[in-house]
Structure formats: C-alpha cells, structure tokens
Amino acid sequence: MNFMRIIRAFWRGALPGLFAASVFLGATPVVQAQNRDEASSRRIMAGDRLNIYVQEQPDISRVYAVAGDGSVDFAFAGRVFIAEMTADEAARKLESVLVEKYFKEAHVDISIANFVEGDVLVTGAVQRPGSLPFRGDSILTLVEAITRSGGLAENAASERVRILRWVPGGSMERQNIEVNVRAILDTMDFSQDQYLRPRDIVVVPSRGEAESRDEFLAMGEVAKPGFHPYTKDMDVIKAVSKIGGLTERADWSSARIMRMRPNGEYAIVPLDLNRLFSAADMRMNLPLQKGDIFFVPSIHNLVRAQVYLLGEVNQPGAVALSPGPNATAARTILAQGGMTQFANPGKVQVQRTAPDGSKKTLLVDVGRIYKQGAFEEDVPLLDGDVVIVPEKGLLGL
C-alpha cells in the first residue's frame, strides 16, 4: 500500500492509528507555533468575558460579557461593538468612545477573563458524528475535527464539506464556507484547511445528496440526529416527534431552523421551544421546508442564565435559570419556596430589558395558574428578567 492509499484509507476510517502516528505527531512543532501566533492576534468572539480597566475611572473597571451581537454594555457609554477585534483594537475603540463623549483623555486596557466555550458539531458522513468540546483560546482545524470524529465515511462527498458559522454583528445568519477536503488530502496542501470556532457546525454530505431531496436534517441535542423524511405538512411539533424528542442537555430556548438562501448563506429562524411546549404558544410551531436544518444546541454552550426574584417570595435573590419547560415565572417561584402570605399572586410582574435598552413589564396571574393549573398562561423567562411579587395593596393594587 503506497503513502497516498494509506492516507485515503485513514479518511475512510480504516487506519486512524497509522495516520495519527505518521502525520499528526510529526506536525506538533508547527501546531505549537501556530498557537503562539494565534494567541497574539486572537479576535474577540461573542460569549467571551473581558477584563476592562479604565485608568481615568476605575469604578467602571470590571468583567464585561460580550453579547451575542458582538457588543459590550460598557457602563454609561452604552453598547459598543467590538467582536472580531483584537484586545488592543477593542481597547482603542473604547478609548475613542470615552474621549468623544465623556473624557478629555482615556486609557483602556483589555484582557480575556474567560474564553467563550462551545461545542463544534460534526455531522453527516463521518464515522462518529457528534459534538467536540472546544474553547475559544484553542486551535482546531476542519481536518482535525473530522479526524477526531473517526475520519470520513466511505460514502462521504469530501469535495464539498460545509462549515456553518455565525455571521459577525448579530445578524441571524450563518456563513456557508465550503471546503474541498478531498483536494487537501490528495495534494497534502493543508494551507486550504480552515480554523474552526466555537459553535461552528461541520456538515459532511454523502455522495448523491442534493439540496432538493425530500428530507430535513436534525442536528444537535436531538434523540435521532441525521436526515429525516420531509412531508408537505411538516411543522416543528411533527419534526420533534419524528426525531424522537430532545436530549436532557438540550437548550430549549435557543433552537433554530437554518434555511439556505439563494446566495448560499443560511438564514436563521429562532425557535423558543419553551414557549411552544410549556406555554402552548403555537406561534412557535413554524412550518419546515424541504432541505431545512433543525438544530437544538446544548446547554453546555451557555453561560448559565440568571433571573431575580424580588418582593413577597420565600427565597428572594438571584436564581440560576435552567433551560427547559420549567423556566417560567410561576414554576420558578414555586421552585424557590413559593410566595409569602402577604403576596398578591394575581399581579406578579416580569420586568424585561430588550437588547436595544428598552424596558417592558409583563403581568402574570400566578394565583390563577396555581389554582386552575393554567400553565399555558405562564410566562417563559429570559436571562436578566426581574420577577416582582408585590404585597397586597402596593403598586397601585
């Protein structure tokens, strides 16, 4: 067996040990050098947590989280977009914002407090499809991810492997990056390999697959990942039934449908399965289209959400919000010991801040929900919500 046949045999899953010993161990010094280069020019990602120090005003110096749209809520300066910048570039950006609006001079220093973590999902024609744990300060390439998934399956269309990646800036789209892995292996030219990022999705199609086939693809924390038959009346409830439900690691509130546009990019249709299955909000029961990708992420990709219980509750304070059907106002109050004897359960408030900074208040009749079991009227909670249980006779009641 000649060298190229050995390599091809590995990528069909036949000789993983031989390839790992002969190629990847020999490449270790190169990878280490790449790690050093990457660390010096690493770009800030959504989900990172940053140490931001302002010399002129230390009281606003603290750890800031980078939101999903790539911005930080920077004290009195408001939201500033810094994703895809290096730490030095982001520091200069914040300095310019402070000088423009508040200070005569500003000196800002930024370092990474916690790197974003998020599994890379490898699906399709590989030997062991599934999730690979990954952190934003690590190095993982497409070829390495396929290797760790057991190599390519025998029927893999390796010339058109796709990486689906969030488009920077908060848009609900994913880039579709197509890579000819077959050419990389045939020529041993790894300059065409791609660095992966947390929460990337790698799709390895099978030979003969076409986007027009009458199927949809289920991925992530679902009981039966893979391709499933599509019917004209397919909707979210029917799709969840078809795929056997969700796993215990599923992030119910962050599911989504990914739908390819004519330009090849994937539009993202967000789904809150909490609202659908817990609050019976049928607006979330969206129709699926042929070729859609139904994706349910893992709770391990999240920074645990928090809500705040105030007023006449037995255990007030910050509460970690567990994903799933129980992440609602009435159920959360109940899990925290319920309400005091002085509570007005008919006028519970959920105060919520939108991404644009606007605020709104939702009223929930928790008393009615408890007495009549009307949990379809319950309100699903979001990270940062404030739940206020008023005292009888207060708040104008």
Chain mean pLDDT for the chain: 79
Share of the chain above pLDDT 70, in %: 81
pLDDT at 208: 65
76 vs 49, which has greater pLDDT? 49
Q: Please give the distance of CA 301 from its chain centroid, rounded to a whole number.
A: 6
Residue that the structure tokens 């190095």 belong to: 139
What pLDDT, on the 0 to 100 scale, is given for residue 89?
A: 92
Topology classification of domain 49-114: wza like fold (3.30.1950)
What is the DSSP pairing of strand 386-389 with strand 359-364? Answer: unpaired
Higher confidence at residue 74 or residue 6? 74
pLDDT band of residue 263 (cuts 50, 70, 90) is confident
CATH of 120-298, one of 3.20.20.80, 3.40.47.10, 3.10.560.10, 3.90.1310.10: 3.10.560.10
What's the whole-number mean pLDDT along residues 370-388? 86
**Backbone dihedral region for residue 181 (phi beyond 0: left; psi -120 to 50: alpha; all else: beta):** alpha
With 90 as the cut, is the pLDDT of residue 238 above it?
A: yes
Task: Tell me what pLDDT residue 209 has.
Answer: 52
Cα 321 versus chain centre, distance:
16
Asked if the model's pLDDT at residue 29 lies above 50, the reply is no
Please list the residues that pair with 350 across neighbouring strands.
362, 387
What whole-number percentage of the chain has pLDDT above 90?
Answer: 20
Least Cα distance to 220 among 202, 235, 234, 208 occurs for 202
Domain residue extents for the chain:
49-114, 120-298, 305-389
Q: Could you give the C-alpha distances from 130 to 23, 120, 301, in angstroms and in order?
A: 24, 8, 14
The CATH number of 305-389, from 3.60.21.10, 3.40.640.10, 3.10.560.10, 2.40.110.20, is 3.10.560.10
pLDDT band (50, 70, 90) for residue 157 = confident
Identical topology for domains 49-114 and 305-389 = no
Q: 33-47, 89-103, 112-126, 318-332: which has the highest mean pLDDT? A: 89-103
Amino acid (1-letter code) at residue 300: H
Q: pLDDT category, 110, cuts 50, 70, 90?
A: very high
Decide: 201 and 295 in contact? Cβ < 8 Å.
Answer: yes
More confident residue, 41 or 294: 294
CA torsion sign for 127, 132, 138, 142 is positive
For 325-361, the pLDDT digits (tens) are 678 899 899 988 999 999 999 999 999 876 556 788 9
- Buried-exposed string 355-394: b where 16+ CB fall within 10 A, e elsewhere: eeeeeeeeebbbbebbeeeeeebbbbbbeebbbbbbeeee
Output the 3-class SS for 132-170: ECCECCCCCEHHHHHHHCCCECCCECHHHEEEEEECCCC
